[in-house]
Structure 1
């Protein structure tokens, strides 16, 4: 089905979205161009390419791209495509090479995308080889914030800092927890798929309404797996109060401009004891007591950046959502190393993530089951609409385009839907 701009606009109402938003392959195809082709999309962290010649292969809107570092230290995002016959140049996920070589005819490319060599070059018109498109073309715009590299296919996209807005404070919250002020992706990633639309995962990142039900088997009053954080005190997530009240369902959510969102933290106390005290002393030595106390405040459970990036602050990790088809999505979860912190903290974070967000974890498996049931359920006849009305009309305007909703408001989900509507109806 071919939709008009007006039909795309009508697909997202103030308090609900049409099920075609999640289920129609034609909607998905247009999204790749009108959403992913028009905004800043997270590509990878610069710690994945620490040395000249390093590369990391991934996808953007289903297209193969390469994050690379040149011999002068510059970071680039290239289309993973040979300028000769269009073959994919790099086939391994990560590696290092002085020249990226195409296996089909042997054309070589520098890590900045420029053409480096052509076998039997004299047989080609030199004008053809001098064109920029003869190399591995760069995406229109590339920029980074505190090591997080973003790219856009749109040369006229707004500046990255404008796109992130005040939501970027969530990135700061994570990175500032390193005694050296930087993080590293050095422990690999969990990678898995689910049979559902990518926006189901993104909705879930702004949802504090579901844990008491969806994760009921693992967030009972003892909450044992959620106490395994560095330190001897302050490491337990309070899902239920002693009186049985579902505390998690009282948590607030923020919706930001451009579709970003964040959730309030489950952890209400600063950690202390054991290795945590050693780590805290490192931060005090660098920042002083007052700034350290501010850094270690648990403000957010996570920060989600539209369209597909989630900074899991509670798990000290990063989640990336990759749409593959209208009903098939890949998810990557990357443990984060806090550079300069005691190594045991990074090791424990990997163990903690194994319990919460691996493919066989306590928590993520529940979410994936919910996503697949949503995708199946939306095939059923009945109402064509999906309701996202919780907390509507009671949000607090905090300025800078930020709306805060208490008690598991769906304001963060609405922010994503409204951003999608603006792009798809443009």
Structure 2
């Protein structure tokens, strides 16, 4: 098959541009004729494209929304923070459960060693999780308040913001004073909303604590690594009054060390230095493997990306079948359209129309038909996203990227569906076409 001279030597003159727009608008007009002249046939044929685009883009939109919600929930962990734990986040805990159970918990001695010897660490925090406890004030009660003891840098590492009051003073940490910072939901349960809680006393586990701060409301995220709305934060030395911080099995999983990298320091460089500092602190022989794990947000991000990639591929695979059916349906419309306009094709050829003009005319018509089906599919995606957001309380959005992707898939489907009918129309001879069209 020889290529038209128009494709080999493109003509960008004003006449060629005007001709292209004339062909384009004529193809649009004929496409609309197909839509409104044979409504039922056209809509049934476009149903495959519509369903296919709906399936693919709905899955992509749901996954993007889910990924956005999860990543937003993880933002409080910080992408420049290294977490010292007993096991790595990216591994199935069932694979080496007993190995990790034998590892010692991150200790306050480890925390002090990092503070003293790690040059690439900007801020370091040690936190101990005391667990849930019923809490009461003179005005109300709150069940299952999550208590945790922290060191001074905890506020800066996790970016705590305050609705009322302040964080603890250095003296509060040093003396282990009975002071507490509470989350917004705890504040609403214990006090009248709108009133100041500062200076008020609350009671938990036999200890009276003075409220010095109330955290800003976080709201509901899909995943909350730490639910600061339902937390009560106290100084580390105050927490020692609540629980025994020894190596008891009852205390496993309660302590954590968070290390924020110094400004302009690479996280990997921080991790490398932390390995040396922790091995020295724990007096590990050179040949013995590390008995700790250093985790970063990138581990979770990579894990999530692989999962969402598989889900997206599954959505493309499922929607692809509907799109293939739609391509065959549109191709059928185009063959019928060519058959109905055979006489008109012959007249155009007799009047001097080139092969590429006929081919372009039918190809544009096919693309426009598929774009129409794709637009309907995107409309259904938008309506479904609104319904899910309203009734399921889970925000789903149709991004501009997914909308453009959906229309691009529809346009490509139009090219595939229309290329053979358009080519067969362009090959017709003028006299034979006029005879066959009688």
Q: TM-score range by the shorter chain?
A: under 0.3
Instruction: Flag the structure with more relative contact order, 1 or 2, with Cα contacts below 8 A and sequence separation at least 6.
Output: 2
More helix by share: 2
Q: Which has the larger radius of gyration?
A: 2
With structure 1 as the length reference, what TM-score do the two structures score? 0.22
The structure with the largest strand share of the pair is 1
